[in-house]
Chains A and B, each alone.
Chain A
Amino acid sequence: MRKKISISLFGLIVSFSFLNAQVKPADSLSNLLVSHTQEDTGRVNLLNNLAYELRRTKPGTADSLITLAISLADNLNYPKGKGYALSIEGARYYAKLKYKEADSVFALSKQLLENVKDDKDLAYMFRTWASMKMDEGNHAQSLDYFLQGLKKAQEAGDIKQAVDIERTIGYLYNILGEYEKAIPYQTDALKQAESINYKVGMSGAYNAIGKTYKTQGNYPASLEAYTKGLDIDRELKDSSGISIDHGNIGDVYERMGNYPKAFENIAVYLDFLKDKPGLEDRKSWGEWLKGKAYTHSGDPAKGLSTAKHALELANKVGWRLYLREITALIAESAAKLKQWDIAYQYQVLSSNYKDSLTGKEIAQKTAMLQASLELDKKQAQIALLTKDKQLQLAENKREKAFLFATLGGLAALIVVAIMMYRNNKQKQRANILLEKQKKEIDIKAGELAVQKDNLEQSYRNVELLGEVGRKITSSLSVETIIATVYDNVNALMDASVFGIGIYHEDTKRIDFPATYENGVALPSYSNSIYEENRFASLCFISGKEIVMGDLETEYKNFLQDVLVPKQGQQPVSLIYLPLKIKDKMMGVITVQSFHKNAYSEYQLYMLRNIAIYAAIALDNAESYKKLNQTVESLKKTQTQLIQSEKMASLGELTAGIAHEIQNPLNFVNNFSEVNTELIDELQEEANNGNLELVRSIAKDIKDNEQKIVHHGKRADAIVKSMLQHSRSSAGKKEPTDINSLADEYLRLAYHGLRARDKSFTANFKTNFDTHIDKINLIPQDIGRVLVNLINNAFYAVAEKQKHVSTSSTRNGYEPTVTVTTKKMDGKIELKISDNGNGISQKVMDKIFQPFFTTKPTGQGTGLGLSLSYDIITKGHNGELKVETKEGEYSEFIIVLPV
């Protein structure tokens, strides 16, 4: 077994010497490993060190080395070596984004290394684990591990490690938005790294500083830091680091609005990743950067597709860190493209990522974690003091025994004895002092125990509040939020009266939509914020807490007079807290009791925290309501636009209608007049007894009469169709001759176009299948579709004609629009074809989207085809298809079920 390992290892080593000529430490390590054939702990260490060196550059080899190290450490029963190997293995899992596997490996590593008190390796393990937790978005856990790691690094005197941890803590505070805490860690990291000329650490510290300034919006300072980091990385020839620096610099330029520089740097960043397998998280980040730059520089379509790609990459490997930003970018780009549904969907998604851990919660958890660290330090001091004291006591005892012996044996030496006595006296005094010190230490230890209890209690509170917070903030309805807050407050304190007042900017009033008294909901009421002698108004205006244990004696501290409550009874104890989020006042929360001094400090503390959650929840609810209002108003606008589209197409038709009416009228008028003349002639010829002529004239009269009727009906149909077209909707399905409908609208559309553009000419043809029976449809809706499609067809041939007539090759282009009907099995096909410019694939993808138009601004609403599509598919269960060849023809095919 062991032999096998060493043979396979030799194979590996040989290959390194070829592959890693530039990696000096790895080279010398592999040489050492080749010469060190003994299967002992030294070999485990060599394997580990080599695995650590190669973990990034040759991850596959590193994995093999780790496996070998673990199995050899197991054989040798060498926990330190195994623990370190596991921590590198954890780092590898982390790099592969396998967080679960990494967690269990780190936990095992921690256990082994703690048992052997290997502070140096523990520091490395904690740092790696903490970084992973930070990436996972588990910030509290991350900070805990960082602080433990920092402690271990300091204890082990490992400055490099401490530098790396400090700057990463800076990152974490950055993410938490606590810049003032981030900067000292980062500048200290830089100072320490410089003190030992630790280049990698300096580069890392610059990177961290750059990030803090970037997040703060201090872009020049950020650029300076990143550029310094880049210089060092170039010096180190760290290609991965150089890539990341470019990514960050690109990000800063993007934020500054310098898009050319942004694109340039982002390209360098992505170029490095291009041929690398894996690294989806970094690729995703790069795509997000690029997408952001596209959208902000005026190409939201590219931005949208790039952002979607970023999301795909992140989802592929479960990388959460930038999900919020990526989805927000998708929403922003879609909004710019007026794709409201996508924008809305991703905005909601993004705000859901927003507060998986709210800022407040993190702040409390991190405070807790720091306090625990301080406590540990104090306990270590106590242990040290106690040790000193015990040593001194032992010393003292030894001296006492010596004194008694000399007293018995050397009585003559009184002077000496006296001196010794005095000496003893001093020792005793020292003893007393020590006793006193011991007592002090005991008291301190007691205090610390109490502190520890308090901390544990407050940790439990944090957990409880976290739970309450999740419940409260999970709803978007004001009523549900108030009820949930009430339930939680009621479980913690006497909430005989409970209410939440919500401030409304427009009325300047605080509304209490649901107040509870003894568990019963009171009718809603409201206060003006200017109402004097109302606690709610006072609390809101001043933004200060009102806390009273006995209303009767204390109210004068706040109000001149106490008014009778608008609803319910006068309480004895009460608390009013302002509800605010950042600097925005949302309203007030109150609990009241009919007993004196009903509320403890602890309960006040809990209520304060619940108030924070309530404010967040109400703010979310308000945002949600606003979003819904926006959606509503968008819907309204859409309806108006659809109506205006109908009116626009009616306008396009009126000219055609006028022409179409004048023509039949021409016949009706003239044939009537002719008939009058003919009747005169008829009478004349009748009088003359010219019977043959009479018959011939009578026949003419009859023929003319038929023409009058025909053209009269034609005019009637035109007027009816115009009225139908202008009617808003709610048409009924009726049996309709699709051929005559198509014919009528074809003529209307053509003449409409001609009326508006005198220079326009085109052929139009019909190719009707006369075997089609009447089919059930809504004539005005289908008519609207026909007008749209036919107008588009004429527009297409007109565009082509313009182009042809301006180009030199006037090769006899005949603009033609054809309407074809065809009876098929169980359905009717209606085809509008034109020999215009056709539709490009790019345009094709969008033609049925609302507001998409290729016409110049003001000439098209962009609603025609999307409306047509809805009418055919939703209104008639039909299909609307397009066939086209760019530059040659377009064919819109309507298929209607019979």
Chain B
Amino acid sequence: MKILVVDDEKDVQVLFEQRFRKEMKNGDMQFAFAFSGEEALQYLNKLQHEAVLILSDINMPGMSGLELLRHIKEKHHEPPPVVMMITAYGDADNYNTAMNLGADDFLTKPVDFSSLKEKLKAIQ
């Protein structure tokens, strides 16, 4: 399974690589990283169908995660990839907006990786 992680915090890459090192070693999961919404879109445009799952932060400078979500769900990408939103703001407003835009799941920071892993396995 190919997963694209979008977050403006660079350390997120290290964290995911550590957290999923077994899955990566096994070849169960492949990770790609983008540090802004724009970069994520570029990646998706270049490599269509590459990402099955997108994990995106909501608050980022420039294009926000919600905007990215709208782009992904509205345009191209057939079949649409699964998009999970990850944010520091777990408020109802944010949640509803994300769900209305077609998010598949909604996680809050700090991320509970064991529950994230279970969700990913369920998708697989």
Contact = CB atoms under 8 A, between A and B. Distances in A.
A751 B63 CA distance: 13
A659 interface: yes
Interface size class of B (residues with CB under 8 A): 20 to 34
A764 to B, nearest CB: 6
12 contacts: A662-B88, A665-B110, A666-B15, A666-B88, A668-B110, A670-B110, A670-B111, A671-B18, A674-B15, A754-B59, A758-B66, A761-B63
Contact of B61 (A670, A703, A704, A763): A763
Interface residues of A, number: 30
Contact of A666 (B14, B63, B97, B111): B111
B71 to A, nearest CB: 13
A663 B59 CA distance: 11
A703 B110 contact: no
A700 B18 CA distance: 8
Nearest to B9: A663
A754 B64 contact: yes
A678 B22 CA distance: 11
Nearest to B67: A761
Nearest to A755: B89
Contacts of B111: 666, 670
Contacts, number: 67
Contacts of B88: 658-659, 661-663, 666
Contacts of A669: 110
A662 B108 CA distance: 9
B79 interface: no
A259 to B, nearest CB: 48
Interface string B66-98: 110000000000000000000011000110010
Contacts of A763: 61-62
Given A662-B110, A758-B94, A667 B15 contact: yes
B19 A670 contact: yes
Contacts of B9: 663, 667
A762 B66 contact: no
A855 B8 CA distance: 31
A669 to B, nearest CB: 4
B67 A659 contact: no
Contacts of B11: 667, 707, 711
A673 interface: yes
Interface string A679-723: 000000000000000000000100110010001000000000000
B110 A704 contact: no
Given A754-B59, A762-B61, 18 more contacts: A658-B88, A662-B88, A662-B108, A663-B88, A663-B109, A666-B15, A666-B109, A668-B110, A678-B18, A707-B11, A707-B14, A750-B61, A758-B64, A758-B97, A761-B61, A761-B67, A762-B62, A763-B62
Contacts of B66: 758
Contacts of A764: 61
A763 B60 CA distance: 9
A751 to B, nearest CB: 6
Nearest to A671: B15
Nearest to A746: B61
Nearest to B66: A758
Contacts of A750: 61
A704 B67 contact: no
A669 B113 CA distance: 10
Ordered nearest first, which 3 A-B pairs have the shortest CB separation? Answer: A662-B88, A666-B110, A659-B88
A850 B103 CA distance: 46
Contact of A703 (B14, B67, B93, B108): B14
Interface string A141-182: 000000000000000000000000000000000000000000
Interface in A718-765: 750-751, 754-755, 758, 761-764
B40 to A, nearest CB: 14
A659 B89 contact: yes
A130 to B, nearest CB: 80
A662 B109 contact: yes
B104 to A, nearest CB: 19
Contact of B93 (A668, A678, A758, A762): A758
Contacts of B19: 670, 674
Contacts of A674: 15, 18-19
Contact of B89 (A658, A666, A711, A761): A658
A758 B64 CA distance: 9
